[in-house]
A and B are shown apart, each in its own frame.
Chain A
């Protein structure tokens, strides 16, 4: 040990400024989440697939507008070069109908999710931010309406109110906003006790400032994940309601009612069920996988 002569050592200059230096590039929360999302192959593939389906939903019906036209001389044809997915019992082009159904189903899923989220955020936000007896009352109200099975409310509303897509969306929103409201309330209850919110309060920040600068930005991650996961759930719910003839009415097309008509002729003409079902399944799968990926990317506990 003592064999190393002292003059072999030279002092390392102490450089405090460089010790405090950070070499990693600065990333905001959203940049960091995007970086992690990009590493997730499945989620990225799902995202591009959803983008493609969105383009189909927007522009497809413009290119194939004849989803309601009957070709009574060409009923129940299998897939062929003129009708790519075949025709149904009234000679309607199934491809045009599936494309139209994509627009209707995605529109319903997206609109219902946005409305539920907006309402849930406001309701849960008020309940969580103000707390106390207001919070108690608002949460008990949710508990009470949760005791009534959703399906009963849904079916009653759809039977009583005039038929149509707005009614369908309204009925689905009325039965599903409580989940997001609970999540937002839970988030706010947790965030508003954080030290940085206390600092803002001791510095004299107004309630509006605390909500806008501290509470909402920190609660946004779980809300977006929830929003993404709600879209496939609503598409599925629409399909189910159309399947029991409470949803979208023919001649309008949605994946649900196309599947419903397909089932009746499944044994003779399976393609009538297979094509809409395929669209429905792959899209909801992609949405779910994307939602999973997004949750992993936005959850700081998953940070590596």
Chain B
């Protein structure tokens, strides 16, 4: 599989009051292969949503490049930009805020097609019905307004809207965290089914580790704007290397009472430092149970410690 998205040294700083800089994304590099689901996990405020939004060109980056199909997305001509907005779509976290309350489902789904001139004229309505059925709704829902639907149904509408543009890449920004657990499973299974049928590439942003493990092929762990570890999901969950990943994984409850009772949680001390004043050296050192003097001074680079397993930690040497 070839890389469809290649992110190189991406930086996004926001200027906050007092002229200080909030480093939402601080030099991250990774690539996503065509047709895979790439999970991006981390706690609130670690920059994962910002990363998704930079990829969608909602924000201009402070530095770095993103190549999609080999083209630098920040150096595109207006026609290329328009084609790019068709190719990359987004599914949002809050299904209540992501649909315009004044427009019918059909209007919302049709918007992308109208912008890009897909399925013109009489072909559009049948296509909308087809999309609704694809996501498990029916064509009677087309003329309804968002307030008439439940959260899970709205999220399905959001998925249908993203699919309307026939994208290659979908950025899923916590698409399930606002839903009930039973509905979460439905939506995740729907996403996986659609990915298989339509050959989509997903950037799946979430903080629910077990859900990410279930859906993702590879997972990247983010901490305070930097990447801590990248590996295939099976390896990351079985043999985590970075101390932050290890402590994160220790927080997942295990659905077996006997094992669960003996599970030992690694409770980190302190709070996440502010991204305005991030620590020098390794960003994780003030909370890291294994920190040494070097961690305070030097920032560890993200290196390939094992084949396809990347980790940014001084204590994890290249094997």
B58 pairs with A198, CB closer than 8 A: yes
- For B85, list chain A residues within 8 Å (CB): 202-204
- For B145, list chain A residues within 8 Å (CB): 26-29
- B97 interface residue (CB < 8 Å to A): yes
Distance between B66 CB and nearest chain A CB, rounded to angstroms? 14
- Pick from B94, B101, B103: contact of A213, CB under 8 Å: B103
**CA distance in complex: A204, B115 (Å):** 7
- B residues contacting the other copy or chain, number (CB 8 A): 40
A203 pairs with B111, CB closer than 8 A: yes
- Pick from A27, A29, A198: contact of B90, CB under 8 Å: A198
- A75 interface residue (CB < 8 Å to B): no
- For B158, list chain A residues within 8 Å (CB): 199
A300 pairs with B111, CB closer than 8 A: no
Digitize A12-35: 1 where CB-to-B-CB distance is under 8 Å, 0 elsewhere: 000011001110101111000000
**CA distance in complex: A5, B101 (Å):** 50
A21 pairs with B98, CB closer than 8 A: no
**CA distance in complex: A181, B203 (Å):** 41
**CA distance in complex: A194, B99 (Å):** 9
- A201 interface residue (CB < 8 Å to B): yes
Distance between B119 CB and nearest chain A CB, rounded to angstroms? 15
- B148 interface residue (CB < 8 Å to A): yes
Of the four ranges (under 10, 10 to 19, 20 to 34, 35 or more), the interface on chain A belongs to 20 to 34
Digitize B98-110: 1 where CB-to-A-CB distance is under 8 Å, 0 elsewhere: 1111111000100
Query: Which residue, of A20, A201, A202, A300, has the highest number of chain B Cβ atoms within 10 A?
Result: A202
Distance between A14 CB and nearest chain B CB, rounded to angstroms? 14
Interface residues of B in 145-173 (CB under 8 A from A): 145, 148-149, 153, 158, 161, 165
Interface of B is mostly: loop
Number of A-B contacts (CB under 8 A): 83
- B291 interface residue (CB < 8 Å to A): no
- A214 interface residue (CB < 8 Å to B): yes
**CA distance in complex: A202, B97 (Å):** 15
Chain A, residue nearest B90 (CB): A202
Distance between B21 CB and nearest chain A CB, rounded to angstroms? 18
Which of B2-10, B134-142, B302-310 is near enough to bind chain A?
Answer: B134-142
Distance between A47 CB and nearest chain B CB, rounded to angstroms? 23
A195 pairs with B138, CB closer than 8 A: no
- A205 interface residue (CB < 8 Å to B): yes
Interface residues of A in 148-204 (CB under 8 A from B): 194-196, 198-204
- B116 interface residue (CB < 8 Å to A): yes
Digitize B161-196: 1 where CB-to-A-CB distance is under 8 Å, 0 elsewhere: 100010000000000000000000000000000000
Binding site for A on B (CB under 8 A): 56-58, 81-82, 85-86, 88-90, 92-94, 97-104, 108, 111-112, 115-116, 136-138, 140-141, 143-145, 148-149, 153, 158, 161, 165
Q: A20-B153, A21-B138, A202-B89 are in contact. List 9 more A-B contacts (CB 8 A).
A: A26-B148, A29-B101, A194-B97, A195-B98, A196-B108, A202-B85, A204-B85, A205-B111, A218-B100
